[in-house]
Amino acid sequence: MPKDPKSVLTTTLSHTLTNRATLSRLRTLSLPPPHATDFSSNDFLSLATSPLLRRSLLAELAAHPTHPLGSGGSRLLDGNSPYAETLEATIAHYHSAPCGLLFNSGFDANTGFFACVPQPGDVVVYDEYIHASVHEGMRSSRASACLMFAHNSLASFRAVLEGVEARQGRSVFVAVESLYSMDGDLAPLAELVAIADEVLDGGALFTVDEAHATGVVGAGGRGLVSLLGLEERVFARLHTFGKALACNGAIILTDATTRQYLINYARPLIYTTSLSFPSLAAITASYTLLRSPHAAALQSHLHTLTAHLHRRLATLPPAPQTLTLPPVRPTPILALFTPQPRSLAAHLQTRGIVARPIVFPTVPKGTERVRICVHAGNTVEDVEALVEAVREWVVGQARGSKI
């Protein structure tokens, strides 16, 4: 009797999962503990729980009582609407870009863009820490080469560009993030652009993923490109709505021809149902809030709190084997480097604080950390409690106790 194919597959899958667990790399879904203080999520402005955003969303829905709720299909068939087109134009205008194209997620946007826009013979040069979605796009790309440079290293960037053979008609794309999700550092964008101008005849086509910077960096949360005034020097920007904006979806800001090209060739846009009306209304409500003094106050509190956290962390007893503090930066993502991130995160959890251990392969070996995200909804007391809990853990580790 031949073996049941389902049981053969189940055995294989189980083996793989067991091996993964043995390597301490098993991923599982978990629910956030109730009433815990959030130092983990990407909800940087705490808009996910903002009564103001909720009211604004409900008002936006009420203002369009007959708008179909479902989008009705792919954007290319029945899923387009004047509402979606107006929203794209409004967001593009907010970020001083010629136009924008909505995607259901940042993952779809990056995958679609990098799979179709670089042409045969083109080269993509990318930062070592670029997001998995860009890698996913590059895997199906027709570019003749995808070349990595060391994270945020100007010397490495220059060396990689100098190795790219100039060819008639060849474009060089550069893929960077503005605010890196695991270290909280900003790309040296102006310097990268200057190097590309120097090394390549005609410069490079920069694509900047502003996923973590959206709502957080620059005036009105417009992002790093806007902060540096580099709108004219960047070929495409990605803003995602799932982090500080507490929604879902993303937009690629670029020129009209590239937008039209994406509409024709970006498979994650073409072969999927477009964002539903409630999703579009939520994005509208979030952008309306971003323009308001309320959002400016949230951003200001977030930055003040982050600076306070750095100052308080600096008062911890030195513990070189146990904990390395992050460099002081004006961004709400901080890495507490430690060889025992799970132990530190578990201790924080006993004190009612959620912060996640981040280990290989998400970050390079030797850079394991607990990732701390500060939120506009956190208070000075929350920061004090966090630092106190870290102090307890550091002292406990020094005494060799298992707290």
Ligand X SMILES: Cc1ncc(COP(=O)(O)O)c(C=O)c1O
Cis-peptide into 361, omega within 30 deg: yes
Q: Which of 60/177 has CB closer to ligand X? A: 177
Taking the complex as a whole, the smallest distance from the CB of residue 240 to ligand X amounts, in Å, to 4
Question: Is 71 or 133 the residue whose CB approaches ligand X more closely?
Answer: 133
Residue whose C-alpha is closest to residue 213's, from 203, 227, 197, 229: 227
CA 202 – CA 69 distance, rounded (Å): 46
369 phi and psi angles, rounded to 5 deg: -155, 165
CB of residue 108 vs ligand X: minimum separation in angstroms? 7
Q: Which of 291, 374, 280 is nearest to 70 (CA)?
A: 280
Q: What is the DSSP letter of 358?
A: E
Could you give the residue ranges of the DSSP H alpha helices within 104-208? Answer: 106-116, 132-139, 154-162, 189-199
CB of 177 to ligand X, least distance (A): 5
Element (H, E) at 206: strand 205-209
Q: Give the nearest distance from C-beta 363 to ligand X in angstroms.
A: 13
CB of 47 to ligand X, least distance (A): 15
Least separation, in Å, of the C-beta of 189 and ligand X?
15
Q: What angle do CA 251, 253, 258 make, to 5 degrees?
A: 110
What is the SS3 assignment for 192?
helix
- DSSP-based three-state secondary structure for 376: coil
Question: What is the DSSP code string of 27-64?
Answer: ----PPPTT-EESSSS-TT-GGG-HHHHHHHHHHHHT-
Residue whose CB is less far from ligand X, 183 or 382 = 183
Closer residue to ligand X in complex, CB, 206/393: 206
In the bound state with ligand X, the residue whose beta carbon lies nearer, of 92 and 275, is 275
> Smallest distance from the beta carbon of 242 to ligand X, in angstroms?
4
- List contacts with ligand X (CB under 6 A): 105-107, 110, 131, 133, 177, 181, 209, 211-212, 240, 242, 250
Q: Which tokens sit at 190?
A: 């102006």
Q: How far is the CB of 230 from ligand X (least distance, A)?
A: 18
Evaluate whether 340 touches 322 at the Cβ level (below 8 Å): yes
CA dihedral 358, 360, 361, 367 (to 10 degrees): 80
Which residue, 110 or 226, is less far from ligand X as judged by CB?
110
Q: Which CB, 102 or 250, lies closer to ligand X?
A: 250
Find the shortest distance in angstroms from Cβ 344 to ligand X: 23
Which candidate, 95, 113, 235, 78, places its Cα nearest to that of 87?
95
Based on the number of CB atoms within 10 Å of its own CB, is 353 exposed (0-12), middle (13-18) or buried (19 or more)? buried
- Using Cβ positions, the residue closest to ligand X within the complex turns out to be 106
Decide: helix, strand or coil at residue 349. Answer: helix
Which residue lies nearer to ligand X by CB, 56 or 279?
A: 279
Complex with ligand X: residue 109 or 385, whichever CB lies closer: 109
Helix (H, G, I), strand (E, B) or coil at 116: helix
| Closest to ligand X by CB, 279 or 397 | 279
State in angstroms the smallest separation of the CB of 134 from ligand X.
7
CA dist 25 and 17 (Å) reads 9
Beta strands 333-337; 369-373: pairing state = antiparallel
Nearest-approach distance from CB 238 to ligand X, in angstroms = 7
Task: Give the residue among 250, 228, 230, 311 at the shortest CA–CA distance from 108.
Answer: 250
CB closer to ligand X out of 126 and 393:
126
